[in-house]
Amino acid sequence: MTLADMGARVIKVERPNGGDMARGNGPFIHGESSYFLSVNRGKESIALNLASPEGKALFLRLVDKADVVVENFVPGAMRKLGLHYEALRRRNPRLVYCAISGFGQTGPYARRPALDVIVQGMGGIMSITGEGPGRPPVRPGASMGDITAGLYAAVAILAALRERDRGGRGQMLDISMLDCQLAVQENAFTRYFATGEVPQPLGTRHPVFTPFQAFQTRDGWIVVAVVGGVNDQWPLFCAVIDHVELIDDPRFKDGYARTLGYAALEPVLNEAMRRRTTDEWLAEFSKVGIACGPVNTIAQVAHDPQVAARGMFVDVPLKTGSRRRAKVVNSPVRMSRTPPSVARGCPALGEHTRAVLGEFLGLTPDDVRALHERGVV
């Protein structure tokens, strides 16, 4: 979807009977899955039975003209169909083939199925998310297993296409969801290797810098991030919360020392932050240049003036030609000459089968109709 936002023509290949299982996920907007819409906008859909010889032959002919093939089957599934990278490369040496799977194409777990929550659990991120040691593991509020793998795949695809411009050949990209979970936790693993200490959940706190967290105020919550290092903002923070005695306390001399001594510091900070409202703290911290912000609900974010100014929500048609529209999140990328475009909703199952097969393979409407009657499309 990220590539489609930036101008790529993305053709989704689905099963003729039922299509992508995500189409059945609620809640629904006028009969359409809001979940499916959120991750499939801007794509085209063709229905193709890859298990049939005719369907496989059509897919291979489409591959001959493709720049990129992306699949997310359990490793070995595409080989059983005869549609693995080596087979496709022989037909189209310039093809970039991106395989996204739970654990990658190699290793003892390679053939295991996996979904988002599986790799979040196995990758360690759930063990460091939550309120503290002894509490149950917590899944982050977004599908970090799926999203990070998709973003790394998009980066890898763009890099492979750029390299193809020079080398003239495509290549296979092996993206493991589990690997991607480790990549976004680089600091947790580096700290573990450096100290031997197993990272623990810290709520909203940072494992190195303090204060760098959410605090309860008189009427809500605020997040505050004090920059340490050479230009430590700790004295400014202490002055704002009216605890100047903490400035020269050797236990809190820098960000890491404050983290190590947090048990003594926590009750003082919590008590001080409850004295004022969120808006009052926002005004005070902003005066001295300390980064801060409210803890917003999704509803509050949806109506935030900064979000509105950036145009981060757009309306798209629910179906091609439909007057009914749905609001979705816009691409966060801003480009001066070729900005991303989010103008189309998600496709109906097989909506573009006739058009795609006609454009790329020269099939007539009667040809496609005959394929449909035989269960190929």
User: Could you report the per-residue pLDDT of 193-206, keeping only the tens digit for each?
Assistant: 999 999 999 999 99
CATH topology identical between 2-185+312-373 and 212-295: no
> Which among 84, 206, 303, 372 is annotated as catalytic?
206
CATH number at 2-185+312-373: 3.40.50.10540
**206 assigned to active site:** yes
**Domain 212-295's class?**
alpha beta
Closest CA to 141 of 313, 297, 4, 31: 297
Is residue 215 within 8 A of residue 275, CB to CB? The reply is no
User: Could you report the per-residue pLDDT of 121-169, keeping only the tens digit for each?
Assistant: 999 999 999 998 889 999 999 999 999 999 999 999 999 999 999 999 9
- Domain ranges in the chain are 2-185+312-373, 212-295
- Dist. CA 41–CA 37, nearest whole Å: 6
Neighbours of 21 (CB within 10 A): 10
How is residue 6 written in tokens? 């930036």
Q: Is the pLDDT of residue 276 over 80?
A: yes
Percent of the chain scoring above 70 in pLDDT: 99
Q: Which residues contact 48 (CB under 8 A, 6 or more apart)?
A: 13, 14, 16, 55, 58, 59, 353, 376, 377
User: Could you report the per-residue pLDDT of 301-329, keeping only the tens digit for each?
Assistant: 999 999 999 999 999 998 756 688 999 99
